[in-house]
A and B are shown apart, each in its own frame.
Chain A
Amino acid sequence: MRRVPPLNEVYDMTAEPTPAWRMRALSLALLGAFVAIGVQLTSLGREVAVASRMMSAEQQVRHALSRPDIVDRHGRMLASDIRVYWLFADPTQILDADDTVEKLSRVLSAEDVVGLRTKLRGPGRFEWVKRGLTPKQAADVHDLGLPGLQLIEEPQRVYPGGATAVHILGHTNVDNQGLAGIEKYIDANPSLPEPVDGVAERSRVRLSLDLRIQYALHEEVMFAQQRYQAKAAGGIVLDVKTGEVIAMAGLPDYDPNRREESLTEGRHNRFYYDAYEMGSVFKTFAVANALDSGAARMDDKIDVLTPLRMGRFTLYDRHAKKRYFTVEEIFTHSSNTGAARLALATGTERQKSFFAKLGLMQPMSTELGPTARPLFPERWREVNTMTAAYGHGISVPPFAFAVANAALINGGTRVEPTFLPRSGERAPGERVVSPETSAAMRQMFLANVEHGTGEQAKVPGYRVGGKTGTAWKPAKGGYSDEVITSFVAAFPMDDPQYLVLIVIDEPKPEAAGKRNEAGHNAAPTAGAVIKRIAPMLGIAPARTFDESPQASY
Chain B
Amino acid sequence: MRLARTDRSVFTEWWFSVDRLLLGAVLLIMLIGALVSLAASPAAAHKIGAEPLYFFKRHVLYMVPAALFLISASMLHPKLVRRMGLVLFLGGIGLMLLAFAQGIEKNGAVRWVIIGGQSIQPSEFAKAGFIILTAWLFGESGKRRDMPTLQIAIAVLGLFALCLVMQPDIGQTALVVLVWGGLFFLAGYSLIWIGLAILAGAGGFVGAYHMLPHVQSRVDRFLYPASGDTHQTETALAAFREGGWFGRGPGEGVVTPGLPDAYTDYIFAVIAEEFGLIFCLFLVCLYAFIVWRGFRAASRSHDPFIRLALSGLMMLFGFQTLINMAVNVDMLPSKGMTLPFLSYGGSSLTAMALTMGLALGLARRRPEAGPVYRSVPRTASGAASSRGIRI
Chain A's closest residue to B326 (CB) is A37
Asked whether, in the complex, the Cβ of B187 is within 8 Å of the Cβ of A17, the reply is: yes
* Nearest CB on B from A407, distance (A): 50
A303 to B127, CA, bound (A): 109
Within 8 A of B (CB), among A21-80: 22-24, 26-27, 30-31, 33-38, 40-42, 44-45, 47-49, 52-57
Among A16, A44, A53, contact of B329 (Cβ-Cβ < 8 Å): A44
Tell me if B318 and A37 are in contact (CB < 8 A): no
Tell me which of A1-9, A294-302, A416-424 binds B: A1-9
Contacts A26-B182, A34-B322: A41 and B142 contacting too (C-beta < 8 A)?
no
Cross-chain contact B284 with A37 (CB below 8 angstroms)? yes
**Of A18, A48, A54, which is in contact with the most chain B CB atoms at under 10 Å from its CB?**
A18
Q: Which of B113-171 contact A (CB under 8 A)?
A: 139, 141-142, 145, 148-150
Given known contacts A23-B298, A54-B254, A57-B257, is B325 in contact with A10 (CB within 8 Å)?
no
Interface size class of B (residues with CB under 8 A): 35 or more
Does A20 count as interface, using CB distance less than 8 angstroms?
Answer: yes
Residue contact A34 to B284, C-beta cutoff 8 Å: yes
Min Cβ gap B302→A in Å is: 8
A17, B240: Cβ atoms under 8 Å? no
Q: Which size bracket describes the interface of A in this complex?
A: 35 or more
Q: Which residues of B contact A47 (CB under 8 A)?
A: 241
Question: CB-CB < 8 A to B371: which residues of A?
Answer: 16
Q: A54–B319 Cα gap in the complex (Å)?
A: 32
A478, chain B: closest CB distance, angstroms: 58
Q: Which residues of B contact A17 (CB under 8 A)?
A: 139, 142, 187-188, 304, 374
CB neighbours (8 Å) of A18 from chain B are 139, 142, 186-188, 304, 307-308
Is B242 an interface residue, CB under 8 A from the partner?
A: yes
B176 interface residue (CB < 8 Å to A): no
User: Contact check: which of A12, A13, A24, A48 meets B299 at CB < 8 Å?
Assistant: A24
Asked if B141 and A4 sit within 8 Å, CB to CB, the answer is: no
- Distance in angstroms from B151 CB to nearest chain A CB is 8
Q: Is the CB of B240 within 8 A of A44?
A: yes
Q: Which residue of A lies closest to B376 (CB)?
A: A13
A92-B46 contact in complex given A30-B315, A41-B280, A45-B277, C-beta closer than 8 Å:
yes
How far is it, in angstroms, between the C-alpha of A12 and the C-alpha of B322 when the chains are bound?
A: 31
Contacts of A20 in B (CB 8 A): 299
Give the CA-CA distance A302 to B212 in the complex, in Å: 91
Q: Is the CB of A27 within 8 A of B291?
A: yes
Which B residues lie within 8 Å of A34 (CB)?
A: 284-285, 287-288, 291, 318, 322
Bound together, the chains give a CA A310 to CA B225 distance in angstroms of 69
Contact A42 B277 (CB under 8 A): yes
Once A38-B284, A44-B237, A52-B238 are accepted as A-B contacts, the answer to whether A31 and B189 lie under 8 Å apart by CB is: no
Interface residue B205 (Cβ < 8 Å from any Cβ of A) = no
Tell whether A223 is near chain B: CB-to-CB under 8 Å.
no
> Would you call B240 and A55 a contact (CB within 8 A)?
no
Chain B residues in 8 Å Cβ range of A23: 186, 295, 298-299, 307, 311
User: Which residue of the partner chain B has the closest CB to A47?
Assistant: B241
Decide if B28 is an interface residue (CB 8 Å cutoff). Answer: no
B193 at the interface (CB under 8 A from A): yes
Interface membership of B258, Cβ < 8 A: yes
CA A45 to CA B150, docked complex, whole Å: 46
Contacting residues, chain B, for A48 (C-beta < 8 A): 241
CB-nearest residue of chain A relative to B235? A55
Contact B292 A31 (CB under 8 A): yes
A462 to B190, CA, bound (A): 104
B378 at the interface (CB under 8 A from A): yes
List the A residue with the shortest CB-CB distance to B254.
Answer: A54
User: Closest residue to A43 on the B side, CB-wise?
Assistant: B329
Query: Is B382 part of the contact surface with A, judged by Cβ < 8 Å?
Result: yes
Instruction: Indicate which residue in A9, A26, A30 contacts B186 across the interface (CB closer than 8 Å).
Output: A26
A8's contact among B148, B257, B291, by CB below 8 Å, is which? B148
Judged by a CB distance under 8 angstroms, whether A15 is at the interface is yes
**Contacting residues, chain A, for B189 (C-beta < 8 A):** 7, 10-11
How distant is the Cα of A219 from the Cα of B272 in the complex, in angstroms? 59
CB closest chain-B residue, reference A13: B376
Chain B residue with minimal CB distance to A8?
B150
* CB nearest to B192 among chain A residues: A4
Partner of B188, one of A22, A36, A55: A22
Query: B100 interface residue, CB < 8 Å from A?
Result: no
**Smallest beta-carbon distance B195→chain A, Å:** 11
* Chain B neighbourhood of A45, CB < 8 A: 240, 244-245, 277
Q: Given A10-B189, A30-B315, A92-B46, check contact A52 B141 (CB 8 Å).
A: no
Q: A8-B148, A38-B281 are in contact. Are A33 and B307 (CB under 8 A)?
A: no
Give the residues in chain B near A4, CB-CB below 8 Å: 190, 192
Closest A residue to B248 using CB positions: A54
Q: CB < 8 Å: which of B188, B287, B307 contacts A11?
A: B188
A125 part of interface (Cβ distance < 8 Å): yes
The answer to whether A26 and B284 touch across the interface, beta carbons within 8 angstroms, is no
B142:A10 contact, CB within 8 angstroms: yes
B16 at the interface (CB under 8 A from A): no
Give the complex CA separation of A17 and B311 in angstroms: 14
Q: Is the CB of A8 within 8 A of B190?
A: no
Chain A residue nearest to B317 in the complex (CB): A30
Quick one: closest A residue to B141, CB to CB? A8
Residues in A whose Cβ lies below 8 Å from that of B288: 30-31, 34-35
- Residues of B within 8 Å of A5, CB to CB, are 190, 192
Cβ of B281: which chain A residues have Cβ within 8 Å of it? 38, 41-42
CB proximity of B201 to chain A, nearest CB, Å: 15
Max chain B Cβ within 10 angstroms of own Cβ: one of A24, A53, A57: A57
Chain B 162-212 residues near chain A, CB threshold 8 A: 182, 185-193
Interface membership of B384, Cβ < 8 A: yes
CA distance A45 to B325 in the complex (A): 15
Are the C-beta atoms of B190 and A11 separated by less than 8 Å? Answer: yes
Given A12-B188, A20-B299, A57-B258, are A30 and B242 also a contact pair (CB < 8 Å)? no
Q: How far is A11 from B150 in the complex, measured between Cα atoms in Å? A: 13
Contact B192–A30 (Cβ < 8 Å): no
Interfacial residues of chain A within 507-553, with CB under 8 A of chain B in the complex: none
Q: Which residues of B contact A14 (CB under 8 A)?
A: 373, 376
At the interface, yes or no: A19 with Cβ under 8 Å from chain B? yes
Residues in A with CB closer than 8 Å to B311 are 23, 26-27
- Flag whether B70 is at the interface (Cβ < 8 A): no
Contacts of A26 in B (CB 8 A): 182, 185-186, 295, 311, 315
Which residue of B254, B307, B382 has the most chain A CB atoms within 10 A of its CB atom?
B254
By the criterion CB–CB under 8 Å, are B295 and A27 in contact? yes
In the bound assembly, the distance between CA atoms of A42 and B278 in angstroms comes to: 9
B270 within 8 Å of A (CB atoms): no
Q: Is the CB of A37 within 8 A of B325?
A: yes
Contacts of A8 in B (CB 8 A): 141, 145, 148-150
| B331 contacts A by Cβ under 8 Å | yes
5 intermolecular pairs with C-beta atoms under 8 Å apart: A13-B384, A18-B307, A26-B182, A26-B186, A30-B291
Binding site for A on B (CB under 8 A): 46, 139, 141-142, 145, 148-150, 182, 185-193, 235, 237-238, 240-242, 244-245, 254-255, 257-258, 272, 277, 280-281, 284-285, 287-288, 291-292, 295, 298-299, 302, 304, 307-308, 311, 314-315, 318-319, 322, 325-326, 329, 331, 371, 373-374, 376, 378, 382, 384
User: Which 5 pairs show the lowest CB-CB distances between chains A and B?
Assistant: A57-B258, A17-B142, A27-B295, A34-B288, A49-B241
- Other contacts beyond A5-B192, A30-B315: 15, CB < 8 A: A8-B141, A10-B187, A12-B188, A13-B376, A15-B188, A18-B142, A20-B299, A23-B186, A23-B311, A30-B314, A34-B318, A37-B326, A38-B284, A45-B240, A54-B242
